[in-house]
A and B are shown apart, each in its own frame.
Chain A
Amino acid sequence: MAYYIAIGSSDGKRTDLKFGEVSEFSIYLVEGRDYEFYEKRPVGDVFEKKEEKKDTCDTKCSSGCSGGGHGCGGSEEVSAKVDAIADCRCVVCKKVGFQAQKQFEKKAISVFDIECDIDEAIDKISAYYDKIDNKRSLKA
């Protein structure tokens, strides 16, 4: 069964964008262990909305490990963005906020927040699904 993977990438090589930074997703089509680039899917409107909202964010938001934990960013922009890739089986970004993660998971879309080469990401994810789908062991 073929499926799509949505990737947040600035250069088409690495999964280097945070979910919030993505203006267009790179969509890949995967069949078993084979995959190919399918299309670029813009989410431009959503991106602008986020920029407007940024002022209301708690400044601690993006300070990484010592963050304040307060939420920011509306759910609408997230929803729209999630909807844009609702036909994908999973999404891969450098970071994915909790709210977005939950929305994805509600739609049974897996979230992998990791920064690496796109090839590596798809290779590992397709191997995982291939095995899980066929009830095969993940044993290394």
Chain B
Amino acid sequence: MAKLLDKQRYKCALAAMQTVQAIDRALPILHSGPGCAQKLSDTNGSSGYFSPNIFPCTSINEKDVVFGGVKKLNSTIENALKVVDADLYVVLTGCIPEIVGDDSGEVVSRFEDAEKPVIYAPTAGFKGNNYKGHEQVVDAIIEQYLKKSDKKQKGLVNIWADVPYQDLFWLGNLRALENLVSELGLTPNTIFGYNRGIENIKKIPEAEFNLLVSPWVGLGNVKKMERKFGTPYLHYPTLPVGATETSKFLREVGKFAGVAEEKVEAVIKEHEDYYYYLIGRYADLFLENRVINKQFTVVADAQYSLGITKFLVNDLGLIPAKQFVVDDTPKNYRDQIAEEFKKLNYGIEAEVSFETDGYKIHEEIKSHDYHGYPLVLGGYYEKEVTEDLKGNFLNISWPVQDKIVFDRSYVGYEGGIRLIEDIYTIAVSRFN
């Protein structure tokens, strides 16, 4: 059902073009109106090998609405193959062709024997948001491009996390997850970002297991791979930010992969020692400042809302006010995610609200007693409301307007330190 989307935090399924864009040398071909790509892009690292104005597009007009746009789609794919130098072409359909009934899948199937792979993901805007669109693209790769492999590569682990570009830190986070997994002696395999691309996609069926680090995004994908390739999966719902969660993450992955306990503990010890060396040096700042209080709120997708809540409670000893999950999490995942918010130190439980109406979120923030200045980590929308409350605001989730991020990450031990840096940079920019 349609609803009032006030201060929206996500895009539509067609924004999965950004998921495609995050795959090195993969090109989205849009069967949509002429302006969808521009609308759905942000200037946050999108002028790489391909940018949205490179994406071929059928630019649907009225005639295509009446007579169908399959012919135009055919010529667009055909010429895209000639003009644009890519490794993988992913046709994405927008609203119009899906409503009027273009058989885009059939058109794409005509290119089965093309020199380069051409696949298709139905991503009409009304089918869901870009979290769902992201899953559609990964599904398309699994279903249409990959085949079951008899060969399994020892120690090879596919890592899946949240949605590129929607997640400002996607690149850094993936690299950080890879590094953690490598340190356990495993071989990480991811498909997004620099130098991954088609060669890594080909390796997906050879992995020993899939590691999904996300509360819910991608769960359908890893289940599909379990069915199609027989690859088991480990679902780790919490983005590991900071020492407590990262150590837990390493133990769990180590156990699942059969890594010797001593090895896992050695890795953890080395990191924790350095982590607490750094924390110790700045602990005075945490304790002796006049602006960061105990109570905080995160307004973000399930991934950051959960990951940062756990970090601030379990590592920094803060107390959660109400937390907001704004990604329109499918209803069947909500209970399970809400449970995760209850697994905090000292039996602390965070109340979580799955809310897409920004007005209501702001009303709740305004009415909550933070026992002092609130700390709010959220989208750009929370900037003003936090400042009105004289609080401290950090922009960590979409929309992001006041920072750029190349490849920084909030994942792992180092990621936790980066997040603390960001929070206390704001704290020290004011006195009281």
Contacts and interface: CB of A to CB of B under 8 A. Distances in A.
A–B direct contact (CB < 8 Å): yes
Interface of A: 110-114, 116, 121, 124-125, 128, 137-140
A64 to B, nearest CB: 12
Contacts of B100: 138-140
B287 interface: no
A69 B65 CA distance: 26
A112 B66 contact: yes
B67 A116 contact: yes
A125 B68 CA distance: 11
Interface of B: 62-63, 65-67, 99-101
A138 B63 contact: no
Q: Is the interface of A mostly helix, strand, loop or mixed?
A: mixed
A111 B99 CA distance: 22
Q: Is the interface of B mostly helix, strand, loop or mixed?
A: helix
Contacts of A137: 99
B238 to A, nearest CB: 41
A67 B101 CA distance: 32
Given A137-B99, A140-B100, A114 B63 contact: yes
Contacts of B101: 139-140
Nearest to B71: A114
B67 A138 contact: no
A112 B67 CA distance: 9
23 contacts: A110-B62, A111-B63, A112-B63, A112-B66, A112-B67, A113-B63, A114-B63, A114-B67, A121-B67, A124-B66, A124-B67, A125-B66, A128-B65, A128-B66, A137-B99, A138-B65, A138-B99, A138-B100, A139-B99, A139-B101, A140-B99, A140-B100, A140-B101
Contacts of A121: 67
Contacts of A116: 67
A110 B63 CA distance: 9
Contacts of A114: 63, 67
B75 to A, nearest CB: 9
Given A112-B67, A138-B100, A140-B101, 10 more contacts: A112-B63, A113-B63, A114-B67, A116-B67, A128-B65, A137-B99, A138-B99, A139-B99, A140-B99, A140-B100
